[in-house]
Amino acid sequence: MERLQFISHGHTAEEQLEGIKLVLDAGCKWVQFRWKSASLNKILKIGTEVKSLTEAYGAKLLINDHIKAAQELDADGLHLGLDDGSIPEARKILGVKKIIGGTANTLKHVQQRLDEGVDYVGLGPLRFTVTKEKLSPILGFEGYTDICSKLTSGQVPIYAIGGVNAEDIPQLLECGVYGVAVSSALLDDPNSSIKNFNRKLYEAAKNSR
C-alpha cells in the first residue's frame, strides 16, 4: 500500500479538479476524493472526471464518505469518518477487493476499526489543521506513540492525518505509523512536496527496519 495519500481539498468543482490534477502530475499515486459540502449527485458528476484522471495516471482512487458513489464510480475504495457510515455495510456492498479505510482518534476507535475489518486506519489529528471543520482532539506525537504501542505490529497500516508536514515523518514512523494522508501540504509546490514526502517516508521506513 502506498505510504502517501492525498486528500482532495476545494470548495468548487474547479478547485477540486485542479488540486487533484496537480498532485497526479507530480507523481502522487493515491487520491482520496473528499468534498464534504457537495451533494451525492455532484460527487458522482465530478467523481467521474476524477476517476478518469486517476486511471490515466495509474493512481488509486478512494471516495470519502459516500458508499453509493464509491460503488457507482467503481472506485478503488472508500474512506469513512467516525460518524459517516458503517464499515461492515460498506464491505458488504463494495466487496473484499476494495480498499476501505476508517478514521480514528483514540485507541478505542482504532480497535473498533480493526474489528470492523478496515484495510487501514487514518489516525489523527497530529495537530491543528484548517482543512477540516470538525476537528477531533489533537493527538501530538505522544498520542501516536501511546496508541501504536498498544497495537499488534502489522495488524493494519496506520496513517497519520491532520496537520502533517514532511518534517514530521521520521518521528511519526518511529511512533509506529505506516504512512500519511495530507491535503494542503502538497498543493503549494506539488512536484517538490511529493518528492520530499515520498523520500522521507520510504527512507525513514527503510532505516527503521
Q: Binding site residues, as ranges?
A: 32-36, 64-65, 84, 103, 129-132, 163
| Of 127, 122, 84, 114, residue with least CA distance to 5 | 122
Preceding amide of 125 cis, omega within 30: yes
CB contact at 8 A, 102 and 121: yes
Pairing of strands 4-7, 30-33: parallel
Residues 6+ apart with CB under 8 A from 32: 5, 6, 7, 8, 62, 63, 64, 79, 181
Known binding site for Mg(2+): residues? 65, 84
CB contact at 8 A, 49 and 16: no
State the alpha helices, DSSP H only, in the chain. 13-25, 40-57, 67-72, 87-94, 107-116, 140-149, 169-175, 190-207
Distance CA(147)–CA(203), nearest Å, equals 23
Distance CA(106)–CA(146), nearest Å, equals 10
